Structure 1
Amino acid sequence: MADINKNSKEYKKLVKKVHPSQSKFKNFLLAYLIGGLIAVIGELITMSLTAQGLPLNEAGPLMSVSMIFIGGLLTGLGVYDRIAQYAGAGTIVPITGFANAIVAPAMEYKQDGYVLGLGAKMYNIAGPVLTYAMLSGFTIGIIKLIFA
């Protein structure tokens, strides 16, 4: 029993020695700044659309579609993953992270074919999120219908 604890302690020392130390504050700051920058880009798109005369209730959805397109394009070009290495959750939380969650598996499984690869695996990451969102929306709609 003593040998197990000794080996465990030695292993933890080795992991601590080999694993680079990460600053949680630095990670938080980068996620906040990059996530905020993504939000600013979305707001700039919305403002430019409303400046062109588009009503806000139409500019909002168009901005969302534009941000999804930008996220998907950057994922396809390999840029989004490099940004995510530094920004962490700052790239996962915005709507561009949703695009990344769809496009990345699609690119990975494309060589397996369009049906069994791309079609079957594209929603590996985002599928459960979409299912939960639709189920939640349906449930809230039923509750509102009953009690409102």
Structure 2
Amino acid sequence: MKVTKQEYSEMTKQASHNTKSYFTIPMAFLIGGLICVLGQALIFLYQYWGMSTEKASSLASITLVLLSALATGFGIYDKLAKHAGAGTLVPITGFANAVVSPALEFKSEGLILGLGAKLFIIAGPVIVYGVAASILYGVIYWVFSII
């Protein structure tokens, strides 16, 4: 089937949906902002409980990753992203979602070949390597600190 440029242009117009930027841009701003506000609230909460700013910030990051991974696992993150668009790409929650989503998609293939292998898709290599390296470094540090 040979398609002319005009026919292709017409087919593209019919298949494409118009973006409602008057709605999507404010929603991305609102949801992204609320995620950031949640992170700041967690920092304040952890500081209120007596932690230093550095520890509270680290724990808030860990909490956001955990909440994002759980929300992805329960299907909440996808529903939120449908309305918020780029607002859910706030780096820390977006990375957690990017790691968990492919793993959940292939969990039926088993823990090693499905779930474990798919953790390395998209942002997974960076995060998994970082976590594994930090655990290894912690073990080495611990071994040398008790000697």
Runs of 4+ in 1 over 4 A off after TM superposition: 128-131
Change (3 A) 1:25 1:94: farther
SS in structure 2 of the partner of residue 88 of structure 1 = helix
Report percent identity of matched pairs: 42
Query: Under a length normalisation based on structure 2, what TM-score does the superposition of the two structures give?
Result: 0.78
Match of 2:114?
Answer: 117
Coordinate RMSD, CA, aligned: 2.2
Match of 1:15?
Answer: 12
Change (3 A) 1:77 1:113: same
Segments of structure 2 that go 5 or more residues without pairing to the other structure are 131-147
Distance 2:56 2:67 in 1: 16
Count of residues in Structure 1 that have an aligned counterpart in Structure 2:
129
Equivalences for residues 53-92 of structure 1 within 5 A: 53-92=50-89
Equivalences for residues 24-103 of structure 1 within 5 A: 24-103=21-100
Kindly indicate whether the alpha-carbon contact (under 8 Å) linking 2:69 and 2:96 is maintained by their aligned counterparts in 1.
Answer: yes
Deviation at 1:130, TM superposition (A): 4.6
Segments of structure 1 that go 5 or more residues without pairing to the other structure are 134-148
Instruction: Give the one of 102, 105, 108 matched to 1:105.
Output: 102
Deviation at 1:89, TM superposition (A): 1.4
Query: Under a length normalisation based on structure 1, what TM-score does the superposition of the two structures give?
Result: 0.77
Change (3 A) 1:130 1:103: closer
One-letter amino acid of the structure 1 residue matched with residue 38 of structure 2: I
